Chain A
Amino acid sequence: MAKKSSSDEVRYLFPFYEMKQSRVRIIYNIWGVFVYSFAILISIPFVWMLITAMLPINYIFSPLDEVIKNFKLNFEYFKKAWEIVPFSLYFFNSFFVSILVVFVQIIISSMAAYSLSKLKPSIYHIVLILFLSTVLIPFETIAIPLYLTLKDFSLPGIFSINLINTYWALILPPIANAVNIFIFKSFFDKLPNDFLESARVDGCSEIRIFYNIVLPISKPIIVVLSIINFVNIWNSFFWPLIVTNDPQIFTLMLGIYKIIEDGQPWNIVMSAVTISMIPNIILFIVFQRQIMKGIVFTTLQE
């Protein structure tokens, strides 16, 4: 067994040669106790959720000692929750909507960003400012007119459709997300121009350059952005609440919200909640590094 020598681990605030001083050691240990205990405190709600999801109904409204005494591993209520709530439908709806939105978002925003960073058409400045202005605007302000436009989605004299209570209403508005464009643009700006110029000299058409050269290079950023947008749309609640009324196209979040309104007992509600959190946890386990990197990247971008 090769042990790591202490020189491999470099500390900056509490270096090892200062740890001999008792004062520094005490501060370090108190700090550590604070951090660890806070981490445990933060994860207690999840433990409580799992405990109540496995409790029989008799013990839900009893004091804490009896709850802990009578706790047993018991997956009965997960089954019941799966039967009561049409989870498969909700999962399908959420997955369908968010995959479609992400797919269209990535295509549209990468195309726009490429033309803004490399081709620079003459309306470049105006378009850039218009895109920037949409980043500031909260979704609550445009929700009302969006609802009205979707209710009467029409070209005057040609057609008019009511898109409320359809998948279109869930899919179309979230596509317009300007943050993606800016992240793509900042990535494309770093690509060297000579590199594209050489392809142009060889007689490659502009669209083929974009499709065959630029997109394969920007694979990591596409992965990061698509995961983050997927999670955001999966978690969204405000817009589906306004637009959908029909339980056939409820997304997962709306479906869970409806359980509370139905007045189910708390153990079934909690088991439904745990089931609803499973996809997010799986996503996090698989794409942990990309999610963390992407969140830092999107927030420090501005």
Chain B
Amino acid sequence: MADNIFNKVSSELTETTITSMLDEEIKMHKKEPPKLPIIKLKLPPKESVIKIKEKKKSEESIFKVLQETKVEEPPKPAVPYTTLIQEMRKSWRFRRFGKPLKTYALKRPASPLPVLRKEEIRKQKFYKLKKEFIGMELLTPGLIVFLLFSWIPIIKTFIISMQRITSMHTVEFVRLENFFKLFTDLKFWEAFGHSITLSLLVIAFGAWIPFLIALYIYEMKKGSGLVKVLYFIPFLTPAVPASILWKWIYNQGFGLLNSVISLFVPGNVYIGWLTDSKIVLFSIAIVFVWKIIGWATLIYLAGLQNIPKTLFEDASLNGATVWQKIKEIILPSMIPVIVTVVFLQLISGLQVFTEVYIMTNGGPSAASEVIATYIYKKAFLYMDIGYASAVAVFFLFILVFITLLRMNINFKRG
């Protein structure tokens, strides 16, 4: 110890340093644990808490006495009636330990309704009749329009699907013949497979890319409007101009896509995006995804706004990474939105008509035939109306099945 002191002589030797060194030395020898300051909290006496809890039982009995006056009970000790203000005061005073404010204890017992006079009853009846009459009056135009243009046609499709119509006036009734024909028609099943693969391709690209985009746009505050608009413009362009534009881009000899690829690959490139039967569905799906990405990002953004923000703060205070935040917070609360987006994409992918009709019109040797174009061709080109409506009925059942599936999923989630 003395050595230590002598070493420090030259630089700094004050009283405090010497005393601190001494203290350290003493501690080294004694090896006593350091004494920590003990803080004593003053808790309120327990009696006050207990008293309030005891009061609870007696309060509900006020109204029992009022209601059951006939039954003679032994007189109970009078309980002081508490007004609302008193109650609120009490609850404020014992806000930490005491009982919560209960509104049901303050309600009055239900009083019987005053007896109505006969005239009033008649007036009420008249009023109800009037309400019903006006309600029907407001409904009728809607009912007529829907009857003419959606309910009767639905029933008619079912009827026509069991008929063979060769011309306008010769109609045969042939039970389920059209449906038997449908189940053995290979061309129809090909078209059905094409539309299912198309919608699966649309989901495969159109569901997760917009999710990533929406997550980023939700983060950025400056310039988010511009990016949103850029993504949204393709959805706004009508299907006809969009598919003409893409037909030009996919052009085999001079389209943009092939000429861009030929910049990177030596020699001229002649990929038939719309004439090669293997790629046709893929290139149609790309157009569809291009159109639908903006829509999906918009809906994901609307879903993201409903997530409570405090969760993110808690997570980042606990040191969660970005991936953990996405997995634990965002994905579980976004699942219903994702389900709706996926199912709507599935349905709209099955219903594709315009893009296919304009770009390929069924493609090279029916390689891109989908259900809608098949129905259109059968009904309005080959005039095989009965069979076409049988296909339409089959299509309707598939769509109803899909929507029921979606509703089932939603019900299970609650």
Contact = CB atoms under 8 A, between A and B. Distances in A.
Interface in A141-199: 141-149, 172-173, 175-176, 178, 181
A108 B145 CA distance: 9
Contacts of B351: 138, 140
A300 B135 contact: no
B238 A137 contact: no
Given A52-B248, A144-B388, A210 B138 contact: yes
A81 interface: no
A164 B141 CA distance: 23
A11 to B, nearest CB: 5
Given A36-B227, A296-B302, A242 B131 contact: no
A142 B142 contact: no
Interface in B185-240: 209, 212-213, 215-222, 227-234, 236-240
Contacts of A299: 295, 299, 340, 344
B353 interface: yes
A168 to B, nearest CB: 12
Contacts of B132: 119, 121-122
B157 A144 contact: yes
A237 B246 contact: no
Interface in A20-54: 24, 27-28, 31-32, 34-36, 38-40, 42-46, 48-49, 52
Contact of A13 (B131, B215, B372): B215
B400 interface: yes
Interface residues of A, number: 100
Interface string A226-264: 000001001101100110000000000100110010000
B316 interface: yes
A26 to B, nearest CB: 11
Nearest to B311: A12
A220 to B, nearest CB: 17
Interface centre among B249, B309, B371 (most CB of A within 10 A): B249
A253 B238 contact: yes
B135 A121 contact: yes
Contacts of A61: 253-254
B245 A45 contact: yes
B154 A206 contact: no
Contacts of A260: 244, 247, 358
SS of A interface (majority): helix
A175 B234 CA distance: 26
B136 A273 contact: no
Contacts of A127: 139, 143
A131 B227 contact: no
B135 A120 contact: yes
A115 B135 contact: yes
Contacts of A140: 351, 353, 371-372, 375-376, 392, 395
A60 interface: yes
Nearest to A67: B259
Contacts of B334: none
Contacts of B247: 260
A280 B237 contact: yes
Contacts, number: 276
A260 B392 CA distance: 29
B140 to A, nearest CB: 9
Contacts of B229: 288
A134 B131 contact: no
Contacts of A43: 230, 233
B219 A38 contact: no
B150 A145 contact: no
Contact of A257 (B213, B299, B358): B358
A134 B312 contact: no
B414 to A, nearest CB: 16
Given A61-B254, A281-B236, A136 B146 contact: no
Given A32-B216, A173-B149, A273-B245, A136 B399 contact: yes
A116 B219 contact: no
Given A119-B132, A131-B146, A141-B154, A237 B240 contact: yes
Closest 8 pairs (CB-CB, A-B): A119-B135, A112-B142, A145-B156, A121-B135, A235-B238, A115-B138, A142-B153, A12-B312
Interface of A: 9-15, 17-18, 24, 27-28, 31-32, 34-36, 38-40, 42-46, 48-49, 52, 60-64, 107-109, 111-112, 114-116, 119-123, 127, 130-131, 134, 136-138, 140-149, 172-173, 175-176, 178, 181, 206-207, 210, 231, 234-235, 237-238, 241-242, 253, 256-257, 260, 266, 269-270, 273, 276-277, 280-281, 284, 288, 291-292, 295-296, 299-300, 302
